[in-house]
Amino acid sequence: MRLLNFLIIFLILGQSVSRAESKPNVLFLAVDDMNDWVGSLGATPRAITPNLDRLAARGVNFTNAHTAGVFCAPSRAAIFSGQFASTTGCYSIPNYFVHHPEIEALQMSFSKAGYTTLGAGKLFHHPAGAIDQRGWNEFFLRNQFQKEGGWALESWSEETPFPNPFPASIYNKGKEVTGGLFLEWGTIPNEKEEEMADTIRINWAVDQLNKKHDKPFFLACGIYAPHYPNYCPQKYFDLYDPAKIELPPYKEDDLADLPPKIRRQKENRKRQHHDKLVEMDAVEDAIHGYLACISYADAMMGRVLDALESSPYADNTIVVFWSDHGYHHGEKGNWGKHTLWERTPNVPFIWAGPGVSEGAKTDVTASLIDMYPTLAELCGLPKPQQELEGVSLASTLKNPSTATDRHVYLPYLTPGEYAIIHRDWRYIRYGEDGEELYDLREDPHEWSNLASDKKYASVKAELAKLAPKSFADPEPKLNPRKDLLIEGESFR
């Protein structure tokens, strides 16, 4: 009987080990502010991105993927919690885990499934107190200040290289720059590339792929590029001739058909930024800096992809590449994000690896909030306590040609503001401040707002039905000085 019991236990343990070994690893790669100018997406202007293009060539490339939030904090909160801001209240903050500790973040599900969880860089938002520390075996921080300062992820500090002179762009020339270095671009000497914060984080991720792992791993690495300031080594600027940069499509009176309050807001922003760049004859220069930083980000992703391909994990690792949101460069008069128009939510979104079709491109509508349920299905993750609001893309990844289109929802800055998006239409609601409606088949640049045309009243009504029936109140902002208790190299 003892021998029989031993054999049963041995078989059970053997099956458990076999299941663990068969689980795919996951390489989770994030960039910040990267729009759809990636080479494989074919938009104008087109960035030089050979590494992302080869990833797309061996996986599934979503051409109609959308973010889950209109800027960094809410987008990343939605991705890691699996819930939209209308449920968590994180319309402008990333801290779903502060007042909702019942939410099990993505990395926690991987940890519960027996994975080694490794993180680095800008996965969550970057200010102090914004990183969900739970569920990580290791989260890399590049200096002691970050460890003892609430895990703030500043990419530009005393030990990182800056252009000389500083500030470098014509837009900020002569200014005393004390804040976010908005509309700032410039070159860094090529020999300083290894000192850049994003390079350091990528090199750490490469080191993890060069190690032996006894368990399946979830390796997540986020970089700041191409977020402003658009600083990167000279060689990436040299890839482009500024005189030959093709501008994105503009329409002079593009804001004329917006709801009155929204029109005033957007016209003010246009005067502050786009009109000034036009007066300075600096639009091409600003776009040049952004394109260069996309190419730098591509080169960094290339390092990780090369390390994976030469590792023992190459055949059993799912690669997911995503950007937290896109970016306007003068389209509809806007520079930046914070809009419900195409340039903000449309992002590069690429999957490759086991269970994923090779060399496929699909225009079915997808959302970044779909990553959590997709990975849960592909990796056998336990069901988290919270309801996941995305849908699994596993069947689309396996056979993209059979996928059907669907609507996706995108919350905005306050409760009751949102967009409903699919392949053919975009409906935008600004609470009580008005609406927009665009026929994306006929008007891909969203130049003609059809919301006031009675002919499309039924279209609006059908799309509006897909919005949440209720919206959570906004979560209060975290004040790092008052709300964080720093304990050695951790915080709470």
Q: What is the pLDDT of residues 218-252, one digit of tens each?
A: 999 999 999 999 999 999 999 999 999 999 999 99
Tell me if residue 126 is catalytic: no
The pLDDT-based confidence of 124 (bands split at 50, 70, 90) is: very high
Assess whether pLDDT exceeds 60 at residue 4. no
Write the CA distances from 52 to 48, 285, 352, integer angstroms: 9, 24, 11
Residues in the chain: 492
User: What is the tens place of the pLDDT at every residue in 414-452?
Assistant: 999 999 999 999 999 999 999 999 999 999 999 999 999
Q: Which of these, 467, 466, 384, 415, lies nearest to 88 by C-alpha position?
A: 415
Calculate mean pLDDT across residues 118-145. 96
Calculate mean pLDDT across residues 348-377. 97
Q: How far apart are CA 467 and CA 465, in angstroms?
A: 6
Q: How far apart are CA 173 and CA 179, in angstroms?
A: 14
Burial of 369 (0-12, 13-18, 19+ CB in 10 A): buried
Assess whether pLDDT exceeds 80 at residue 211. yes
User: What is the tens place of the pLDDT at every residue in 138-178?
Assistant: 999 999 999 999 999 989 888 899 999 999 999 998 887 76
Q: How far apart are CA 187 and CA 164, in angstroms?
A: 8
List the end-to-end C-alpha distance of the chain, in Å, as a whole number: 52
Query: Mind spelling out the 3-state secondary structure of 337-359?
Result: CCCCCCCCCECCEEEECCCCCCC
Single-letter amino acid, residue 118 = L
In what helix (H) or strand (E) does residue 61 lie, and over which residues does it extend? strand 59-62
317-323 and 230-233 as β-strands: parallel, antiparallel, unpaired?
Answer: unpaired
Q: Which of these, 483, 340, 306, 332, lies nearest to 409 by C-alpha position?
A: 340
Tell me if residue 66 is catalytic: no
Tokens coding 288 = 């040049």
Q: How far apart are CA 303 and CA 301, in angstroms?
A: 5
Name the DSSP letter for residue 26.
E
User: What is the tens place of the pLDDT at every residue in 275-319?
Assistant: 999 999 999 999 999 999 999 999 999 999 999 999 999 999 999
Q: How far apart are CA 476 and CA 170, in angstroms?
A: 37
Assess whether pLDDT exceeds 90 at residue 23. yes
The pLDDT-based confidence of 12 (bands split at 50, 70, 90) is: very low
5 phi and psi, to 5 degrees? -60, -40
Calculate mean pLDDT across residues 73-100. 96
Single-letter amino acid, residue 229 = P
pLDDT of residue 179: 61
User: What dihedral do alpha carbons 274, 278, 279, 281 form, nearest 10°?
Assistant: 140
Cβ pair 355, 63 in contact under 8 A? no
The model's pTM: 0.94
pLDDT of residue 21: 54
User: What is the tens place of the pLDDT at every residue in 475-487?
Assistant: 999 888 889 999 9
Domain 23-491 classified CATH 3.40.720.10? yes
pLDDT above 70 as % of the chain: 95
Q: Give the residues across from 349 on adjacent strands.
A: 62, 322
**Catalytic entry in 66, 72, 100, 232:** 72
Any idea where the domains of the chain sit in the sequence?
Answer: 23-491
Cβ pair 361, 295 in contact under 8 A? no
Calculate mean pLDDT across residues 129-137. 96
User: What dihedral do alpha carbons 316, 200, 131, 347 form, nearest 10°?
Assistant: -60
Q: How far apart are CA 166 and CA 175, in angstroms?
A: 9
User: What is the tens place of the pLDDT at every residue in 463-473?
Assistant: 999 999 999 99
**Catalytic entry in 66, 100, 125, 325:** 125
In what helix (H) or strand (E) does residue 219 lie, and over which residues does it extend? strand 217-222
Cβ pair 340, 410 in contact under 8 A? yes
pLDDT above 90 as % of the chain: 90
Q: Position of tokens 């890399």? A: 140
For 11, other C-beta atoms within 10 Å of its C-beta total 10
